[in-house]
């Protein structure tokens, strides 16, 4: 994202008290990054390249609520 990082966007949503599921989609797939993003407040995490089974699982998880 050219203006804000995903984490900055998440913090802005939190500041504005906007409660929506947030999933970090990133190429940053190093060991420990998933835990870091979840600790930052994201609801879930997907790394690139996208595994379609994982994407479908996450979409079902958050869109069926």
* Burial class of 58 by CB neighbour count within 10 A (0 to 12, 13 to 18, 19+): middle
* Burial class of 43 by CB neighbour count within 10 A (0 to 12, 13 to 18, 19+): middle
pTM: predicted TM-score of the whole model, two decimal places: 0.84
Q: How confident is the model at residue 61 (pLDDT cuts 50, 70, 90)?
A: very high
Which pLDDT score, from 0 to 100, does residue 28 have?
86
Residue % of the chain over a pLDDT of 70? 97
Helix, strand and coil content of the chain, in percent to the nearest 5, comes to 45, 10, 40
pLDDT in tens, 9-39: 999 999 999 999 999 999 988 899 999 999 9
Which pLDDT score, from 0 to 100, does residue 3 have?
87
CA 44 to chain centre: 5
């Amino acid at each position: 994202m050219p203006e804000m990082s995903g984490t900055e966007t998440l913090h802005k949503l939190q500041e504005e008290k906007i409660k929506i599921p947030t999933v970090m989609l990133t190429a940053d797939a190093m060991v420990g990054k998933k835990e870091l993003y979840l600790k930052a407040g994201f609801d879930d995490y997907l790394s690139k390249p996208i595994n379609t089974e994982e994407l479908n699982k996450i979409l079902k998880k958050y869109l069926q609520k």
